[in-house]
Chains A and B, each alone.
Chain A
Amino acid sequence: MKEELEELNNDFPAARFNRRSLIAAATATAALALFRPGNAQVNTNLLITDPTKIQGPLPGKLGSRSRYENPEKKTSDTSSRTPLQDLYGMITPSDLHFERHHGGVPDIDPENYELLIHGMVEKPMVFTLKDLKRFPSVSRIAFIECSGNFRTGKETMTAQEICGLTSQSEWTGVMLSTIFREVGIKPGATWFLAEGSDAAVMTRSIPVRKGLEDGMIAYGQNGEALRPQQGYPARLFLPGWEGNTNVKWIRRIELSDQPFMTREETSKYTEQIKDGKVRQFSFDMDARSIITSPSYPGSVEKGWLEISGLAWSGRGKIERVEVSTDAGKSWHSASLQQPVLDKAHVRFRYLYKWNGDETEIMSRAVDTTGYTQPTLKQLIDARGKDMGGYHLNPVTAWVLKKDGRVLFKPENWRG
Chain B
Amino acid sequence: MRVNTDLKKIASLLIFLLISVLISSCSTSPDQGEEQGGGNLPESFAFGRIATKQEIDSIDIDIMPDGHGLPPGSGGVATGDSLFALKCVSCHSGSGPYAKLIGAFGDTVKAKTIGNYWPYATTVFDYIRRTMPFNAPGSLTDDEVYSLTAYLLFKNRIIDSITVLNSSNLATIEMPAKKLFVNDDRKGGKEVR
Contact = CB atoms under 8 A, between A and B. Distances in A.
A377 to B, nearest CB: 10
Interface string A199-233: 11101000000000010000000000000000000
A278 B180 contact: yes
B119 A369 contact: no
Contacts of A124: 50-51, 56
A32 interface: no
A19 to B, nearest CB: 44
A267 B112 contact: yes
A111 B50 CA distance: 18
Given A261-B123, A372-B190, A267 B31 contact: no
Contact of B186 (A276, A284, A379): A284
A127 interface: yes
A279 interface: yes
B62 A116 contact: no
A341 B31 contact: yes
Overall SS of chain B's interface: loop
A262 interface: yes
A359 interface: no
Contacts of B190: 370-372
B144 interface: no
A201 B180 contact: no
B187 A369 contact: yes
A267 B118 contact: yes
A267 B131 CA distance: 15
Interface in A138-153: 138-141
Contacts of A383: 193
B67 to A, nearest CB: 12
B107 interface: no
B11 interface: no
B47 A131 contact: yes
B59 interface: yes
A120 to B, nearest CB: 12
Contact of B189 (A134, A135, A258, A369): A369
Contact of B184 (A127, A201, A282): A282
A341 B30 CA distance: 10
A201 B138 contact: yes
Interface string B17-55: 000000000000011111011000100110111110001
Interface in B122-152: 122-123, 126-127, 130-131, 134, 137-138
Interface stretch (A3-11, A155-163, A248-256, A346-354): A248-256
B53 to A, nearest CB: 9
Main secondary structure of the interface of A (DSSP, over half): mixed
A195 B62 contact: yes
B61 interface: yes
Interface-central residue, A127, A135, A251, A267, by most chain B CB under 10 Å: A267
A241 B192 CA distance: 18
Nearest to B53: A124
Interface string A367-409: 1011110100011011100000000000000000000000000
B183 A371 contact: no
Candidate in B41, B64, B118 with the most chain A CB atoms within 10 angstroms: B64
Given A127-B47, A284-B186, A369-B189, A342 B31 contact: yes
Contacts of B131: 102-103, 199-201
Given A200-B137, A263-B127, A116 B59 contact: yes
Contacts of A125: 48-51
Given A369-B188, A370-B190, A383-B193, A260 B64 contact: yes
A379 B192 contact: yes
B36 A261 contact: no
A280 B186 CA distance: 11
A178 B59 contact: no
Interface in B62-99: 62, 64-66
Contacts of B126: 262-263
Interface in A244-299: 251-252, 254, 256, 258, 260-263, 266-267, 270, 273, 276-284, 286
B55 A126 contact: yes
A267 B124 CA distance: 10
B130 A201 contact: yes
26 contacts: A118-B56, A124-B56, A125-B48, A126-B55, A128-B48, A136-B41, A138-B34, A138-B36, A182-B44, A195-B62, A201-B61, A201-B131, A201-B137, A203-B130, A252-B60, A261-B65, A261-B123, A266-B181, A278-B117, A280-B181, A281-B183, A341-B31, A342-B32, A372-B190, A378-B192, A382-B193
Given A175-B34, A261-B120, A266-B118, 16 more contacts: A125-B50, A127-B48, A140-B32, A195-B59, A199-B137, A201-B138, A252-B59, A262-B127, A263-B126, A266-B117, A267-B114, A267-B123, A278-B182, A341-B32, A342-B32, A383-B193
Interface of A: 102-103, 116-118, 123-128, 131, 134-136, 138-141, 175, 178, 181-182, 193, 195, 199-201, 203, 214, 251-252, 254, 256, 258, 260-263, 266-267, 270, 273, 276-284, 286, 315-316, 339, 341-342, 367, 369-372, 374, 378-379, 381-383
5 A-B pairs with the lowest CB-CB distances in the bound complex, closest first? A369-B188, A263-B127, A136-B36, A282-B184, A127-B48
